[in-house]
Copies of this chain bind each other. A is one copy, B any other.
Amino acid sequence: MTDTGPRNTRQRRAVESALRRTDDFVSAQDLHGKLREIGDSVGLATVYRTLGLMAESGAVDMIRAEDGEARYRLCESEDHHHHLVCRVCGRTVEVEEPLAEKWASDMAAAHGFTDVSHTLEIFGTCLTCAESR
């Protein structure tokens, strides 16, 4: 079980670094743009591939914006959690709801479902964005 893990390439470091510098959820496209701006460019396909791997390994959270676009963010807590996202500026608050977890799995079990996963995201307009409207 010698987990060699992914290779330590410049591109991977750049993606992780850019994610670390961002508090909010960003799309693969956004990230690609940011990297290009700071002159640490990484191919778009590589950004997608890297984010995909990180999401699979649990290193980043992935959510879907209301239009279906995927957005990523470095995972802060180990525990499963959800997000309150400003649909204007993207500001994010990480929230926990232990009851929802249990409710979801109980509900699924009651109907004979297994391998349960769930999504729970809250979208709104944050105070700052509402005022500057």
**Given A68-B68, A119-B121: A113 in contact with B99 (beta carbons within 8 A):** no
**Given A122-B104, A122-B107: A112 in contact with B127 (beta carbons within 8 A):** yes
Write out the residue numbers on chain B whose beta carbons fall within 8 Å of the beta carbon of A64: 64, 68
What is the CA–CA distance of A36 and B66 in the complex, to the nearest angstrom? 29
| Copies of this chain present | 2
Q: Which of A42-83 contact B (CB under 8 A)?
A: 64, 66, 68-70
Write out the residue numbers on chain B whose beta carbons fall within 8 Å of the beta carbon of A126: 111-113
Count how many chain A residues have C-beta atoms less than 8 Å from C-beta atoms of the other chain. 35
Q: Which of A106-131 contact B (CB under 8 A)?
A: 107-108, 111-127, 130
Q: Closest CB-CB distance, A111 to chain B, in whole Å?
A: 5
Write out the residue numbers on chain B whose beta carbons fall within 8 Å of the beta carbon of A93: 111
Write out the residue numbers on chain B whose beta carbons fall within 8 Å of the beta carbon of A66: 117
Binding site for B on A (CB under 8 A): 64, 66, 68-70, 84, 86-87, 93, 95, 97, 99-100, 103-104, 107-108, 111-127, 130
